[in-house]
Amino acid sequence: MVFSSLVFLWVFFPLVFVLSRIIRAPKYQNILLLFASLVFYAWGEPKFILLLLFSICMNWAFGLLMEKYPAGRSTFLLLDIVGNLGFLGYFKYANFVLNTMDHLVPQIALPRVNVVMPIGISFFTFQAMTYVIDLYRGQYKAQKNLLHLALYISFFPQLIAGPIVKYREVNEQMTDRAMTPELTASGTRRFIYGLGKKVVLANSLAVGADAIFALPAENMTMLLAWAGAFLYTLQIYYDFSGYSDMAIGMGRMFGFRFLENFDHPYLSLSITEFWRRWHISLGSWFREYLYIPLGGNRKGKLRTYINLFVVFALTGLWHGASWNFVGWGLYHGFFTIIERLGLGKLLKKLKGINWIYTFLVVLIGWIFFRVESVRYGLHMVACMFLPQAGAAQGMNIFRLIDNHVIFAMCAGMLGSGILQLVFTKTPLKVVGGRWKGSFAEMLYLAIVMLYCVMLLANDVYNPFIYYRF
């Protein structure tokens, strides 16, 4: 079940929301939300609900053991991390490792695991690990109530696509939260904006992007290559940020406050800044639980650069079991390092050029994130910058991109930061302030919601990029 489905919008979520309003006590609300979360996960992955429950119980048990036997805290932490990464490695990376070994040692015929990856395993595994690691660091007491920890790990708004929430951020909210009308209104507003991002923009952009990326390499032209890269750059932003908005909105409607996950990343003026604005919860996780423990920037420049390469390589691998994802991570790590070496200071002086540089680096990176073959990605980039590399005459672009895609592309360009700059950082910010909560905004949101339902009822193309991560 995904947020942008009629079953979720018309049955599951309204029912859970109404019941949560009838049940006033947080203790019983937690039971309701936990049950709803397990149903939500089992709807799409019934055979993997036991894996989720085992993960919850394992992390809860190791937390209790760490508190009861302080002398063995390090051992219990190590066992917990091995357990979590073991599950993640088996279900997500087993065949990737075997395929790689086949290429390295073709003489040995290795068997295949043939497992289906559980939905959201990367998200709930990282989230569970934060609980035990921070417990080891003494940031809070072990959670003795299994139901509370189970709700933290499996809470359906952020179970399958984040944001990755740290336990310390919601610990107190488990037992002390208020579902006020103001918070409900704010959450509803945020949810509808996110739904519009996903259904109206991301789904339409996906139609054009998928059509272009499906073309044979020999049919790729310069125009098609640029259009495909640009459409996918917008699609992945609106797809993922839309889901994050919906998760944050639903959290507020149930009394939880989740931190932001995106901050207009396409306004960034460097790759370093881009990673402070893109998928903030994941970047924060790797910085706090990997980069800093590795030594961060405290052990000299060379060690800092090695740490950055390790972090970005694993960031890419987190996204998918394929070398193109690892390459995408290392690609961003390379530009992050050269900015530390001096390019960053130069970029601050090159107004305008710094934005063009950043956007081009990100856009080209998304090509390799999207393609299944590195060779295809290289050919596509060559077509973008070398006219002779592409086909002399390819398919008419308007056979692949219709009016809906063009509208989504134009709206996506404006909404990825331009309008926000105009109405928040200029004299027009007064107009932006009046818009929020106004009758005009409520009418706009009602129209967006109605339009989304109409599109979904007509079985509109509804892929979800981060569903497989």
- How far is the first Cα of the chain from the last one, in angstroms, to the nearest whole number? 15
Task: Out of 279, 319, 332, 379, pick the active-site residue.
Answer: 319
Q: Encoding tokens for residue 221? A: 């032209």
Are 208 and 227 in contact, with CB atoms under 8 Å apart?
Answer: yes
Segment holding 209, helix H or strand E: helix 203-213
Gap between the Cα atoms of 316 and 318, Å rounded? 5
Are 392 and 385 in contact, with CB atoms under 8 Å apart?
Answer: no
* AA letter at 397: I
Exposure of 227 by Cβ count < 10 A (0-12 exposed, 13-18 middle, 19+ buried)?
Answer: buried
Are 95 and 112 in contact, with CB atoms under 8 Å apart?
Answer: yes
CA dihedral (210, 215, 220, 223) positive or negative: negative
Q: Encoding tokens for residue 272? A: 């370093």
Phi-psi region of 170 (alpha: psi -120 to 50; beta: other; left: phi over 0): alpha
Which are the contacts of 376, defined by CB distance < 8 A and separation ≥ 6?
217
CA distances from 181 to 30, 185, 188, 211, 252 (A): 19, 6, 10, 44, 10
Specify the 3-state DSSP secondary structure of 133: helix
Give me the phi and psi of 40, to 5 degrees please.
-55, -45
For the question of residue 319 being annotated catalytic, the response is yes
Q: Give Dmax (Cα) for the chain.
A: 71
CA dihedral (256, 468, 400, 229) positive or negative: positive
Specify the 3-state DSSP secondary structure of 104: helix
Q: Encoding tokens for residue 177? A: 């939260």
Gap between the Cα atoms of 434 and 427, Å rounded? 13
Q: What residues are labeled active site?
A: 319
